[in-house]
Amino acid sequence: MTDLTKLTIAQLRDGYKAKDFTSLEATQAYVDAIEAHNAAFNAYVTVTPDLALRQAAAADAKITAGNAGNLEGIPVGIKDLYSTRGVHTQACSHILDGFKPRYEATVTQNMFDDGAVMLGKLNMDEFAMGSSNETSYYGAVTNPWKRQGERTDNGTALVPGGSSGGSAAAVAAHLCAGATASDTGGSIRQPAALTGTVGMKPTYGRCSRFGMVAFASSLDQAGPISRDVRDAAIMLGSMASADPRDTTCADLPVPDYEAAIGKSIKGMRIGIPSEYRLDGMPDEIEQLWEEGKAMMRDAGAEIVDISLPHTKYALPAYYIVAPAEASSNLARYDGVKYGLRVDGKNIEEMYENTRAAGFGEEVKRRIMIGTYVLSAGFYDAYYTRAQKVRTLIKRDFEQCFDAGVDCILTPATPSAAFAIGDKEMAADPVKMYLNDVFTVTVNMAGLPGIAVPGGLDNQGLPLGLQLIGRPFEEETLFQAGSVIEAAAGHFLPEKWW
Amino acid sequence: MSVDTATVKRVAKLSRIAITDERAESMQSELNTILGFVEQLQEVNVEGVEPMTSVVDMVMRKRRDEINDGNKAEDVTANAPMSEDNFFMVPKVVE
């Protein structure tokens, strides 16, 4: 029999239907693959094989009975940020030590209702704060991709990006058919770009945030990381929903995203923002962008130059808004309600000791920045100003869309994957933040964005292209994304594990 | 704007995060790097611009003011580091 872990979600679905193999067989293949290879990547922080095999057996019964759901019997990995009933949920932080929720996130419940099989919980940057998956309490994740000539156990280990680094690595290494992820400033799209996978961040409000561990509530959004564009469309179709338990969740029907795959983009207007051409950007990124434009043009789209003048202010504004919201959201971790407690001589000292021991350094930095910018006397100078800049960033996009641009094409990241423990980035937090320079604008404006593999750099590492769309027009991104995929092809890491 | 170590300690206190003197010093330069980076927002002309309150153009859904969930004290306290009879246990706060 073929190795079932090589198949996409669509191929598994078709194979189940044709009775070529069962979900139990596919799930067992993944359980075995994780057992054999997870140690090479550290992608899963906990595995749930018994649950997975139970869910797979139930899925097979439904498939046989002819009432299979959209994800029936599909083995997936879940980012540790989603609350999963009775299963490890810590957003990879020590402060949630031992936390096992008594409830289920809406997104995962939607997926289970549609028949998904959960293989385990995936590594991530602590509280989704990071762009390299190195801030996780459970340690760094290794990217399945290594540089050409270094593809051995001893070759330089590269980061998979972050914060959804475990999700991206597991999908690229075939340790799950697809994975949930989340994106506050680029945490779906940047790791997808660095691992040759597809990452879709939908419009703010498209997926419910109920049961997702909160980082920055006005920016956080759930989405999938998958092998290809079709699989991302299939997954989002299950993840998205209206939800009375999240008041910011959009009250809109979920369209048939998969139907958009392969549709012609003839006549579509694709915007190219001049502000995304950064000083010192590697030639390869520029070249990739040019190739992306050619792919669009060859498929009949019209390329138009556009301007998004406030682009350069998105990242600094983000580093006020996101820490401010985080400082408020993370106030709930106090050693009383759940997770870690470190005693002190009074309640205040208990709070301080618990939070000092429970939060990692990046999380502490962001809580303190957030507390500072919200403190008396600084609120208007920092927070109110950042929110005004955010209005301007959104307006830039609106003016382009109003002028008839259907979607915007940019590089997904300013570079390919870098080494774990990169000294320059470790020494300067802002250097690390710059990884998200092309993705963060999309969160600030609440728009949908997709990262699709565009090619390899001269070291043999994957690079991604990003498409940005109008609010709630994810279908356009799947449509245009599948054009890039058809032209650029698929990229698989050479196996060293 | 930049912060001194006294400010770092005050912010740590407000954040309820214990911090050593040594760490306060290294944290000072880290925070100043970030504050230096966000300083460029000062050059943006924001006159007459409304601060963003909702990123997506929609009216927030409201629900009826009625009880539709509850009686879950055991679930609520199940993950507490210390609890008794469905109460959270904390160090003594009233003498």
pLDDT, tens only, A307-326:
999 999 999 999 999 999 99
Q: Has residue A379 got a pLDDT over 80?
A: yes
Assigned domain for A40 exists = yes
Assigned domain for A293 exists = no
Assigned domain for A35 exists = yes
Give the pTM: 0.97
pLDDT bucket at A2, cuts 50 / 70 / 90: confident
Measured between beta carbons, the chain B residues lying within 8 angstroms of A390 are: 51-52, 55
Question: Hey, is the C-beta of B91 within 8 angstroms of any chain A C-beta?
Answer: yes
Two structure tokens written together for A392: 């301007």
Measured between beta carbons, the chain B residues lying within 8 angstroms of A205 are: 56, 58
Query: Could you give the CA distance from residue A439 to residue A286 in angstroms, rounded to a whole number?
Result: 16
Query: Could you give the CA distance from residue B95 to residue A85 in angstroms, rounded to a whole number?
Result: 39
Q: Do A391 and B51 touch (CB under 8 A)?
A: yes
Domain extent for A133: 4-263
Q: Has residue A177 got a pLDDT over 90?
A: yes
Q: Has residue A280 got a pLDDT over 90?
A: no
C-alpha pair distances (Å), A151 with each of A158, A159, A197, A376, A493: 11, 14, 19, 53, 9
Assigned domain for A448 exists = no
Interface test with A, best of B9, B52, B54, B92 (most A CBs within 10 A): B52
Residue A146 · residue A44 · CB < 8 Å: no
pLDDT in tens, A254-278: 999 999 999 999 999 999 999 999 8
Question: Hey, is the C-beta of B61 within 8 angstroms of any chain A C-beta?
Answer: yes
Q: Which of B35, B42, B49 is closest, CB to CB, to A391?
A: B49
Closest residue of chain A to B13, computed from CA coordinates: A352
Q: Which of A133, A220, A149 is nearest to A420 (CA)?
A: A133
Q: Has residue A434 got a pLDDT over 80?
A: yes
**Overall domain count for chain A:** 1
In A462-491, which positions are buried (b, 16+ CB within 10 angstroms) versus exposed (e)?
bbbbbbbbbbbbbbbbbbbbbbbbeebeeb
Measured between beta carbons, the chain B residues lying within 8 angstroms of A203 are: 56
Assigned domain for A141 exists = yes
> What value of ipTM does the predicted structure carry?
0.96
Structure-derived torsion over alpha carbons of residues A144, A147, A151, A153, reported in degrees to the nearest 10: -70
Q: Has residue A1 got a pLDDT over 70?
A: no
Q: What percent of chain A has pLDDT over 90?
A: 96
Question: Hey, is the C-beta of A223 within 8 angstroms of any chain B C-beta?
Answer: no
Assigned domain for A437 exists = no
Q: Which of A102, A218, A339 is closest, CB to CB, to B55?
A: A218
**Catalytic residue status for A264:** no
Assigned domain for A236 exists = yes
In the chain, the amino acid numbered A431 is K
Chain A 469-488, residues with CB within 8 Å of chain B CB atoms: 471
The pLDDT value given to residue B95: 74
Assigned domain for A33 exists = yes
Burial class (CB in 10 A: 0-12, 13-18, 19+), A21: middle
Average the pLDDT over A293-314 and give the result. Answer: 98
Domain CATH code at residue A192: 3.90.1300.10
Average the pLDDT over A337-349 and give the result. Answer: 96
Which domains, ranges and CATH numbers included, belong to chain B? 5-40 (1.10.20)
User: Residue A280 forms beta bridges with which residues?
Assistant: none
The pLDDT value given to residue B57: 82
pLDDT in tens, A194-232: 999 999 999 999 999 999 999 999 999 999 999 999 999
C-alpha pair distances (Å), A217 with each of A220, A314, B59, B83: 5, 17, 17, 29
**Catalytic residue status for A187:** yes
Residue A23 · residue A33 · CB < 8 Å: no
CB pairs under 8 A between A and B: 168
Q: What is the mean pLDDT of chain A?
A: 97
Question: Looking up tokens 């000062």, which residue turns up?
Answer: B42
3-state secondary structure string across chain A: CCCHHHCCHHHHHHHHHCCCCCHHHHHHHHHHHHHHHHHHHCCEEEECHHHHHHHHHHHHHHHHHCCCCCCCCCEEEEECCECECCECCCCCCHHHCCCCCCCCCHHHHHHHHCCCEEEEEECCCHHHCCCCCCCCCCCCCCCCCCCCCCCCCCCCCECCCCCCHHHHHHHHCCCCCEEEEEECCCCCHHHHHHHCCEEEECCCCCCCCCCECCCCCCCCEEEEEECCHHHHHHHHHHHCCCCCCCCCCCCCCCCCHHHHCCCCCCCCEEEEEHHHCCCCCCHHHHHHHHHHHHHHHHCCCEEEEECCCCHHHHHHHHHHHHHHHHHHHHHHCCCCCCCCCCCCCCHHHHHHHHHHHHCCHHHHHHHHHHHHHHCCCCHHHHHHHHHHHHHHHHHHHHHHHHCCCCEEEEECCCCCCCECCCHHHHHCHHHHHHHHCCCHHHHHHCCCEEEEEEEECCCCCEEEEEEEECCCCHHHHHHHHHHHHHHHCCCCCCCCC
Q: Has residue A69 got a pLDDT over 70?
A: yes
The pLDDT value given to residue B59: 81
pLDDT tens over chain B, length 95 residues:
789 999 999 999 999 999 999 999 999 999 999 999 999 999 999 999 999 999 988 887 788 899 989 999 999 999 999 999 999 999 988 87
Q: Do B8 and A368 touch (CB under 8 A)?
A: yes
